[in-house]
A and B are shown apart, each in its own frame.
Chain A
């Protein structure tokens, strides 16, 4: 279980929060002008990368506030947390310090315990 630093309440247990999926996917304003494919892209498609992921969280059993987080999906490390009205930190700022569990490759699967 990871710790999440709510920007309004401070560090709390993951069980107090709910994940809201990929961040920075704005709801299209003039949806009537979108074709089925583009609208479908908004409704049904989200990224699911291994590594750096910008996502939304809500402190559902706390202050009920939504905020954004950058998480390394292969280690569950929270790399940054920022409010909805703040600019997201750049991807480059994490890339050098990014870890993978047990040194497994950054893409693809595998769960090694022995150092090669």
Chain B
């Protein structure tokens, strides 16, 4: 009793291919899947189960496989690959998963004997405490023994994405799909035919159920059809393409595997993710056979009957020449016939139906061929060690034991309604077919063939002509001749009764996740009687196979326990994807440097040459600090940069700063509405620090507004805020004030910006721009000049973000580097230092300047920052004005900005710490600790030589000079601090206006 070849298969060639499974070499044929090749070599044990580590074998012949899940070692260790789908090629190395140390000797299988512990809800109930045990003890053990394969060692991008816009998509290139395609050949419709396999034909190649179509052999008809489609101008076929998602608006996702049966080429994409938009979707994706639960229905050797048949015809391997067949329906007739036609004889035929349902024809056939058969009978269970040895058949309460190594089972067939329900179509229960079938479509969806519940192949053509009569096509005339003995009939059967033999005996409802029928009963008993709850509690149908062969069975069993109709129990929600797809397929080429664009300033390479360490600010790469020498620490670098800037001069590449140009007749009115400040009396060619609020009165962004004249403004925004500020301006212009004639445009990348500041900055810029008068009288603080320089226009604004004398220089990016170098040429004599964002933050904190997003968090008003002077109170309106007088925003105990310094100048306060009134925190926190606020910024000031911090604390304005405390990460003792003004350096602004 072992496997045999079928030389008349459809697909297999006689070209030998060698491959390795768990280190051992085997020979298969080109076209074999891992599963068919292993069956050919009589390998039955291929996996250990998820929870109990029970021995498992190949159960199906396709995407629905719950057991045969393997790791492909030579494909970057790709885990969780279905052995029933993945084709072999010369040199492929495959390993089993979830076993240790080996498949044959697995230590985890002790779980099976401990199984009373592992029942439904086990994880939820068991690993509850004590505290810390989950992370240190439970999780590491569970991770080692449970679970699926090991993750690949490295991520690689292996897919590309492709978009399609078509009129009709046909999903499935089987009998109905191909007839439909023939109907659509050379019509006005753009058609895409998607087939998950590497060839067309579906049921025609999986079985011998159909004898002839239009008087032609099925294979001949398929080839003819494929040629007709290929010659047509309007139909495209995509093979190896599995539809995984059916979304709203007839949007489909299909994954095409381009390396089927081939070694992967690292230089080529292996997968194409097709994103398809269609007007009509035709589902012709067939059906999936379901199993039956009985004692040890998971032993290697149990296989679905239709899958067994598929191995015979498609892959030319008869997995066992004398299996036992156990069925409750007529679809197994063709398996019986196939075996006998090949000269093999089943060891027994067991049917739960009575003789009227089975029909005289089949009974005669069994008798004529001398097959032992049992009707009104059930398989009670099977026994064996890692492989079936005996099968116990129960008839009229007697047990008959039959020896065989394989058992082919069929519990009926289910229309594959997964995609149909994803599309939000409704299904209904069919008592005659004992399954759910599509009822009402929600989108433009048509189901044809067995997915629609039409299990009678003779009626396929009629169904297609009827359902597609709304299309402008001719009717198809085609005659389908069957090989089958009977038309479809079935007797409901979900589970057979069995006597408990040992702890080892189990009747499974979900093979993938090791859920037993007993678990279902226990879960219902514990109150999980809603199917969605039951699913989560037991993990039934939550594996990577989504319970394709068993989820309807669980509904059947639950309906019996609850004494309800299955239609009342309902199904769980089907969600995409239909079958697992890897993250790299979804990512496509949007990986690594292509995941998000990097924005670099024109000075970027200079920064690299000068040992800049970069920081990501949005998409921008900004220098964080510059190392003077390789070993210089960040702290030292920042202290050096800050000190030097206040001593002589420093320069910052501020090109990332957002810049927006506002032009138009009504620009002044618009600016007055957008910002809190009043711009009417502002002189042309002057600038002003400005605030933008939301309608809720909270600060949204800040920047400097330059007024060229009443019709022309240029504003800067924070580096990260530019797109949002521009979008907000557009929104108000279009939706609220369409009467205003204003145009806004981003000019962020049209200008590079440098901020030079420090007492010597005037000397340096005077040497660079020799024609410009930088004297205090002619170029006062917050004014700007535009002039020609280096054959381009340069704008220089006197402004400062450090509290020192400073200038902001704007120039076209292609001249930026040249100018930057020039400034350093003249700056050398003054020890001009380049500085990064960290020093920028430190310098502004010394001066008490806030950073939007650091001191503010969307709950801070200008009043909270003592920015009353920036509010144009006389203006009738601006965005957020009314909110500044809301009862909440005018509260006196709001968090307000203050400065904080430690009483002991050697101590350091950390950002994010709480400001409290108590000198230490309780060792055990039993009640909430009253806190006043938090530290928003904190630095060690090199210029004051102690820590300076800013904090947002309740009623801060009234707490000036008070002693408070700040929590620390070391112990429960708090740091005593004093509340001071947030301006630590030059409060009189002498340096600023010097």
Using a CB–CB cutoff of 8 Å, the interface residues on chain A facing chain B are 1-3, 18, 20, 26-28, 31-32, 34, 36, 39-40, 42-44, 56, 58, 60, 64-66, 75-77, 84-85, 99, 101-103, 111-115
Contact between A114 and B735 (Cβ–Cβ < 8 Å)?
no
A77 to chain B, nearest CB (A): 8
Contact between B882 and A32 (Cβ–Cβ < 8 Å)?
yes
27 A-B residue pairings within 8 Å (CB atoms): A1-B249, A27-B736, A28-B882, A32-B876, A36-B886, A36-B887, A39-B882, A43-B696, A58-B727, A64-B727, A65-B734, A66-B731, A66-B734, A75-B424, A77-B249, A84-B734, A84-B738, A85-B738, A101-B442, A102-B424, A102-B442, A113-B421, A113-B427, A113-B570, A113-B572, A113-B574, A115-B426
The residues of B that contact A114 with a CB separation of less than 8 Å are 426-429, 436, 567, 570-571
Contact between A44 and B881 (Cβ–Cβ < 8 Å)?
no
Q: Give the contacting residue for A20; candidates B421, B572, B731; CB below 8 A.
A: B731
Contact between A60 and B428 (Cβ–Cβ < 8 Å)?
no
Q: Complex Cα distance A84/B735, Å?
A: 7
Contact between A58 and B695 (Cβ–Cβ < 8 Å)?
no
Q: Complex Cα distance A83/B216, Å?
A: 59
Closest to B726 in A: A64
Closest to B440 in A: A115
Q: Give the contacting residue for B247; candidates A1, A27, A111; CB below 8 A.
A: A1
Contact between A115 and B428 (Cβ–Cβ < 8 Å)?
yes
The residues of A that contact B573 with a CB separation of less than 8 Å are 111, 113
- Given A2-B248, A31-B877, does the pair A113, B886 have CB atoms closer than 8 Å? no
Could you mark each residue 725-742 of chain B with 1 if its beta carbon is under 8 Å from any beta carbon of chain A, else 0? Answer: 001001100111010000
Q: Complex Cα distance A43/B567, Å?
A: 47
Using a CB–CB cutoff of 8 Å, the interface residues on chain B facing chain A are 247-249, 251, 277, 421, 424-429, 436, 439-440, 442, 567, 570-574, 695-696, 727, 730-731, 734-736, 738, 876-877, 881-883, 886-887
B727 to chain A, nearest CB (A): 7
Q: Complex Cα distance A90/B638, Å?
A: 63
Q: How many A-B residue pairs have CB under 8 A?
A: 91
B541 to chain A, nearest CB (A): 14
B425 to chain A, nearest CB (A): 8
Q: Complex Cα distance A26/B570, Å?
A: 46
B547 to chain A, nearest CB (A): 15
Contact between A3 and B882 (Cβ–Cβ < 8 Å)?
no
Closest to A31 in B: B882
Contact between A39 and B886 (Cβ–Cβ < 8 Å)?
yes
Closest to B734 in A: A66
The residues of B that contact A75 with a CB separation of less than 8 Å are 248, 424, 442
Contact between B442 and A2 (Cβ–Cβ < 8 Å)?
no
Contact between A58 and B731 (Cβ–Cβ < 8 Å)?
yes
The residues of A that contact B442 with a CB separation of less than 8 Å are 75, 99, 101-102
Q: Complex Cα distance A56/B734, Å?
A: 12
The residues of A that contact B696 with a CB separation of less than 8 Å are 43-44
Closest to A1 in B: B251
> A3-B277, A43-B696 provided; 19 other pairs, C-beta below 8 A?
A18-B727, A26-B736, A31-B882, A36-B887, A39-B883, A43-B883, A58-B731, A64-B727, A65-B734, A66-B735, A77-B248, A84-B735, A99-B442, A103-B426, A112-B426, A113-B571, A114-B567, A114-B571, A115-B428
The residues of A that contact B738 with a CB separation of less than 8 Å are 84-85
Q: Complex Cα distance A1/B730, Å?
A: 26
A65 to chain B, nearest CB (A): 7
Contact between B695 and A43 (Cβ–Cβ < 8 Å)?
yes
The residues of A that contact B730 with a CB separation of less than 8 Å are 58, 64, 66
Q: Complex Cα distance A96/B131, Å?
A: 57
Contact between A113 and B882 (Cβ–Cβ < 8 Å)?
no
- Given A102-B442, A114-B429, does the pair A3, B249 have CB atoms closer than 8 Å? yes
B746 to chain A, nearest CB (A): 11
A86 to chain B, nearest CB (A): 13
Closest to A39 in B: B882
The residues of A that contact B695 with a CB separation of less than 8 Å are 27, 42-43
Q: Complex Cα distance A57/B522, Å?
A: 51
The residues of A that contact B574 with a CB separation of less than 8 Å are 113
The residues of B that contact A44 with a CB separation of less than 8 Å are 696
B166 to chain A, nearest CB (A): 14
Contact between B426 and A113 (Cβ–Cβ < 8 Å)?
yes
Closest to B275 in A: A1
